[in-house]
Amino acid sequence: MGQKMKFKVFLSMLLAVVLLAACGGTDNGDQETEEDTDVVAAASFVEDEEGLQAASDENGKWIIIPTTDINLGEELVVAGTFHDGGDESKDVYRKIAAYEQDDDRNITAQHTITTSRLVVQSENLNFQGGTLDGDVYVEADGFQLHETATITGDLVFANADFEASADISGTVEGETTVE
């Protein structure tokens, strides 16, 4: 191949790269815009004990999504103030979504979190789908146990106000008490 031909091939390749880069900068097909951002963008997907502990503290995310069953060797504390969807203009809300769902939001799989005790310190925590295998101790307003969720142990509220603000439509296999 002659020098002129090599130069033409080089220019063609360079032009192709420039065109691809230019198109990539304007095509939002695979990129989320602010309007397209959804729950998943602010979620914390966890698959092990360390990830679950980190996602649950005050520096975690508003929604915690276990991707498998997780067995903790210690208690799990869910702390911090978070907002629905991670948007501070929305209501205070936090969620543990121990399930998987299809595009129509039908639950397709549920996961179990095994711990000696889940301590709820985040206001309006919703435990949805799946099973919490252990006790739950609530130290915050607005705890929710969704109808698709189960607690195998006891549910204990630190005071009557926390119990009064709770919405328990799921299953509690142990006793429900107030200290």
Q: Which tens digits make up the pLDDT trace of 85-118? A: 888 889 999 999 999 999 999 999 999 999 999 9
Give the C-alpha separation, 156 to 124, whole Å: 16
Is residue 59 a contact partner of residue 81, using CB atoms and an 8 Å limit? no
Strand, helix or coil for residue 120: strand
The average pLDDT across 69-82 equals 95
Q: What is the pTM of this model?
A: 0.76
pLDDT of residue 3: 53
Give the helix, strand, coil percentages of the chain, each rounded to 5. 25, 35, 40
19 backbone dihedrals φ, ψ, rounded to 5°: -65, -40
User: What pLDDT is stored for residue 24 in this prediction?
Assistant: 44
pLDDT band at 74 (very low <50, low <70, confident <90, very high): very high
Question: Rounded to whole angstroms, how far apart are CA atoms 69 and 126?
Answer: 18
Average confidence (pLDDT) over 119-130: 97
Domain ranges of the chain: 1-31, 39-178
pLDDT at 17 over 60: no
12 close to 32: Cβ distance less than 8 angstroms: no
What is the bridge-based pairing of β-strands 171-172 and 150-151? parallel
Q: How many Cα atoms are found within 13 Å in the side-chain-facing hemisphere of 145?
A: 25
Amino acid 52: pLDDT: 96
Interval 61-81 mean pLDDT: 95
**Residue 41, pLDDT score:** 46
